[in-house]
Amino acid sequence: QVVLEESGGGLVRAGDSLTLSCLASGRTLESVNIAMGWFRQAPGKEREFVAAISWNRLFTEYADSVKGRFTISRDNSRKTVYLQMNSLTPEDTGVYYCAAGSSYHRFISGEREWWGQGTRVTVSS
């Protein structure tokens, strides 16, 4: 079992930057050697993929809408994954969810085993 807890959301203006954090709790192998990523859900829309990173940080994946602006990273010593968001726009508004899975390949393919409860990001124009 892996428990994910997001933090760092808030209200910002367009052009600002914000960094989200997701702390993974559980047994060492389950909380460290796992693929992790971020999803978001805008008001009235379905949840969409944002970014993912493998446990060893060798592989990352980004949605086209955030590529070049967002950076996903992780600190395994702290069991935390981060999402650095730059040049934010109102289109980035939504609830951001942290997710994790035991296989990076399956994670990218759509298999995510654990989810956080989300942290809200609001970008004003």
Please provide the average confidence, as pLDDT, over all residues in the chain.
Answer: 94
Residue 32 has pLDDT above 90, yes or no: no
pLDDT digits 0-9 by tens, 45-57 = 999 999 999 999 9
Residue 33 has pLDDT above 90, yes or no: no
6 confidence band (pLDDT: 50, 70, 90): very high
Long-range CB contacts for residues 102-109, cutoff 8 Å, separation at least 24: 102/30, 102/34, 102/35, 103/35, 104/35, 104/52, 104/54, 104/55, 104/59, 107/35, 107/37, 107/52, 108/35, 108/52, 108/61
Residue 31 has pLDDT above 70, yes or no: no
**Residue 26: predicted pLDDT:** 81
